[in-house]
Chain A
Amino acid sequence: MEMVVVAPPAPSRLEDLKRRFFATPLQALLSLISLTIMAFIVWKLLDWAVFSAVFTTTGGPEACQAAAGACWSVIAARWRIILFGLYPFEEQWRSALACVSVVVMTVLSCIPAFWTGRRIALIWGAGTGLYYVLMKGGVLGLPYVGEEAWGGLALTLFIFVTTCLIGFPLAICLALLRRSDLPWISRTTGLIIDGVRSLPLISILFTFAVVLPFALPQWLQGDKLYRVILGSALFFSAYQAEIVRGGMQGVPAGQEEAAMALGMSYWQRIGRIVLPQAMRNALPATINQFVISFKETSLVVIVGFFEILASGNAAYGTGEWRFAYVEVYAFIAFIYFIFVFSLSRYGAYLERRMAVGER
Chain B
Amino acid sequence: MVSLLRNQKVRNALLQALYVGSLAAMVLACVMIARRNLAEQGITSGFDFLFKSTGWDVNFSLLPATANDPYWWFFLIGIVNTLFLGTTGLILATIVGTIVGLARTSSNELARLLGRTYVDIFRNIPLILQVFFWYALITHLPTPRAAHEAFGMLLTSRGLYVPVPNVAGIAFAAAILGVIAAIALPLWLGRTSHLSQPFGERVGIQLTAAATALATAAIILALGRLPDLPLIDFPALQGLNLKGGMRIPPEFSALAIAIAIYGGSYIAEIVRGGFKAVGKGQMEAALSLGLSPWRVFTLVRLPLALRAMLPILANQYVWLMKATTMGIAVGFTDFFMIVALTINHSGQTLEVIGILMAGFLAINLSLAAVFNRINKAIALKGNQLRG
Which residues of A are in contact with B by a Cβ distance under 8 Å? 20-21, 27, 30-31, 33-35, 37-38, 177, 182-185, 188, 192, 195, 198-203, 206-207, 210-211, 214-217, 295-296, 298-299, 301-302, 309, 313, 323, 325-326, 329, 332-333, 336-337, 340-341, 344
Docked Cα-Cα span, A182 to B30, in Å, equals 27
Docked Cα-Cα span, A34 to B356, in Å, equals 45
Q: Which B30-54 residues have a C-beta within 8 angstroms of A?
A: 30-31, 33-34, 37-38
Tell me the total A-B contact number using a CB cutoff of 8 A. 136
Docked Cα-Cα span, A195 to B361, in Å, equals 8
Docked Cα-Cα span, A195 to B356, in Å, equals 12
B369 within 8 A of A: no
Contact size class for B? 35 or more
Q: Are A325 and B109 in contact (CB under 8 A)?
A: no
Q: A210-B340, A336-B124 are in contact. List 11 more A-B contacts (CB 8 A).
A: A20-B109, A34-B110, A177-B19, A182-B12, A198-B360, A199-B360, A203-B356, A206-B336, A214-B34, A309-B129, A337-B124
- Which residues from chain A contact B364 at a C-beta distance below 8 Å? 198
Please give me the 6 A-B residue pairs with the lowest Cβ-Cβ distance, nearest first: A34-B110, A215-B34, A215-B30, A200-B322, A184-B16, A295-B126
Binding-face segment, B73-81, B201-209, B323-331: B323-331
- Which residues from chain B contact A198 at a C-beta distance below 8 Å? 360-361, 364
Q: Are B322 and A216 in contact (CB under 8 A)?
A: no
B289 within 8 A of A: no
Q: Are B16 and A185 in contact (CB under 8 A)?
A: yes
Q: Are B110 and A214 in contact (CB under 8 A)?
A: no
The contact of B114 among A37, A203, A309, by CB within 8 Å, is A37
Max chain A C-beta neighbours (<10 A), residue from B17, B114, B323: B114
Q: Are A301 and B19 in contact (CB under 8 A)?
A: no
- Which residues from chain A contact B329 at a C-beta distance below 8 Å? 301-302
Which residues of B are in contact with A by a Cβ distance under 8 Å? 12, 15-17, 19-20, 23, 30-31, 33-34, 37-38, 103, 106-111, 113-114, 120-121, 123-129, 132-133, 136-137, 140, 322-323, 325-326, 328-329, 336, 339-340, 343, 349, 353, 356-357, 360-361, 364
10 contacts between A and B (CB under 8 A): A34-B111, A184-B20, A203-B360, A215-B31, A299-B326, A325-B136, A326-B137, A333-B133, A337-B124, A340-B125
- Which residues from chain B contact A35 at a C-beta distance below 8 Å? 110
- Which residues from chain B contact A192 at a C-beta distance below 8 Å? 23
The contact of A210 among B37, B107, B110, B343, by CB within 8 Å, is B343
Given contacts A199-B357, A211-B343, A309-B128, contact A188 B19 (CB under 8 A): yes
Q: Are A182 and B126 in contact (CB under 8 A)?
A: no
| Chain B min CB distance to A227 (Å) | 13
The contact of A336 among B20, B114, B126, by CB within 8 Å, is B126
Q: Are A333 and B125 in contact (CB under 8 A)?
A: yes
Q: Are A38 and B110 in contact (CB under 8 A)?
A: yes
Docked Cα-Cα span, A185 to B326, in Å, equals 34
- Which residues from chain B contact A37 at a C-beta distance below 8 Å? 114
Q: Are B129 and A336 in contact (CB under 8 A)?
A: yes
- Which residues from chain A contact B23 at a C-beta distance below 8 Å? 188, 192
- Which residues from chain B contact A203 at a C-beta distance below 8 Å? 325, 336, 339, 356, 360
The contact of A295 among B127, B326, B339, by CB within 8 Å, is B127
- Which residues from chain B contact A336 at a C-beta distance below 8 Å? 124-126, 129
Q: Are B16 and A182 in contact (CB under 8 A)?
A: yes
Q: Are A217 and B33 in contact (CB under 8 A)?
A: yes
Docked Cα-Cα span, A148 to B381, in Å, equals 61
Given contacts A34-B113, A188-B23, A336-B124, contact A329 B136 (CB under 8 A): yes
Q: Are A30 and B31 in contact (CB under 8 A)?
A: no
Docked Cα-Cα span, A301 to B336, in Å, equals 16
Given contacts A184-B20, A214-B349, A302-B328, contact A333 B108 (CB under 8 A): no
Closest to B107 in A: A27
Q: Are A211 and B353 in contact (CB under 8 A)?
A: yes
Q: Are B325 and A21 in contact (CB under 8 A)?
A: no
- Which residues from chain B contact A309 at a C-beta distance below 8 Å? 126, 128-129, 132
Q: Are A200 and B325 in contact (CB under 8 A)?
A: yes
